[in-house]
Structures are given as structure tokens and as C-alpha cells.
């Protein structure tokens, strides 16, 4: 009685390779892309950017330090020190970024 032949291993091997490919392209690759975008956003933080934290706090950046930013809420002008990793997104870039982008666009023309 023969247990396994060479032909029965090929479909199993193909299915394992397909599962690994689906896992890589469906989970690992998008996460790496998201991490890269988040790190890029953290590096580009500047004074006058309006940000939203993971906790839902919205405020304008008044000072940027190495690993934290100090934001000011719009209502009562309360200042908070927030870790950069706690920033979810930049809602509205500050004036400085817009002028830098305008200068770069004019130089390339």
C-alpha cells in the first residue's frame, strides 16, 4: 500500500504558496505602507498644522519637539503636550508648508 505519490504533493504545495502570497499582499504589505506614511507625516509636522489625535482631540501645533508636540485647543486656548505617535492625522497643514510648496512649484516652472 502506497501512501503518497509525487502528484499529491504538488496541489498541497501550490495551496500553501498561494496562502502565503495572499497573507503577504493582503496584510503585511499594506501595513508596511501605512507605517511608512505615518512616519512621513510625523517627520513633516510643523507649527500651525491643525491635527487630530488618536483620542479625538483637535488642536493647532504651537511647538514641535523631538518626540512630542505641544498643541493648543481652539476653544479655551488650552495647551497639551502630545506624543507624536498619538497623532492620527493632519487635518489642515500650516501656512509654512503651503508657502514652501508654492515656492517649489514656481521653481520647477
pLDDT for 96: 57
Please list, in sequence order, all residues whose beta carbon lies within 8 angstroms of the beta carbon of residue 78, skipping any fewer than 6 positions away: 72
pLDDT greater than 80 at residue 27: yes
pLDDT for 26: 92
> Between 10 and 108, whose confidence is greater?
10
pLDDT greater than 70 at residue 6: no
The pTM of the full predicted model, rounded to 2 decimals, is: 0.61
Query: Taking the domains of the chain in order of start, what are their residue ranges?
Result: 11-92
User: What's the pLDDT tens digit per position in 51-109?
Assistant: 999 999 999 999 999 899 999 987 788 999 999 999 999 988 876 544 455 445 445 55
Backbone torsion region of residue 77, taken as left when φ is above 0, otherwise alpha when ψ lies between -120 and 50, otherwise beta: left
DSSP structure string for 66-100 = SSEEEEE-TTT--EEEEEGGGEEEEEE--HHHHHH
DSSP structure string for 35-47 = HHHHHHHHHT--T
Q: Which CATH class is domain 11-92?
A: mainly beta
Distances (CA, A) of 71 to 15, 19, 20, 66, 83: 51, 45, 43, 14, 10
Amino acid at each position: 500500500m502506497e501512501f503518497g505519490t509525487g502528484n499529491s504533493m504538488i496541489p498541497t504545495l501550490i495551496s500553501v504558496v498561494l496562502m502565503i502570497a495572499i497573507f503577504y499582499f493582503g496584510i503585511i504589505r499594506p501595513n508596511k505602507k501605512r507605517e511608512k506614511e505615518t512616519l512621513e507625516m510625523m517627520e513633516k509636522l510643523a507649527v500651525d498644522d491643525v491635527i487630530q489625535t488618536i483620542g479625538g482631540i483637535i488642536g493647532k501645533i504651537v511647538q514641535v519637539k523631538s518626540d512630542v508636540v505641544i498643541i493648543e485647543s481652539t476653544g479655551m486656548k488650552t495647551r497639551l503636550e502630545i506624543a507624536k505617535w498619538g497623532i492620527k492625522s493632519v487635518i489642515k497643514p500650516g501656512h509654512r508648508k503651503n508657502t514652501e510648496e508654492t515656492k517649489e512649484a514656481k521653481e520647477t516652472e
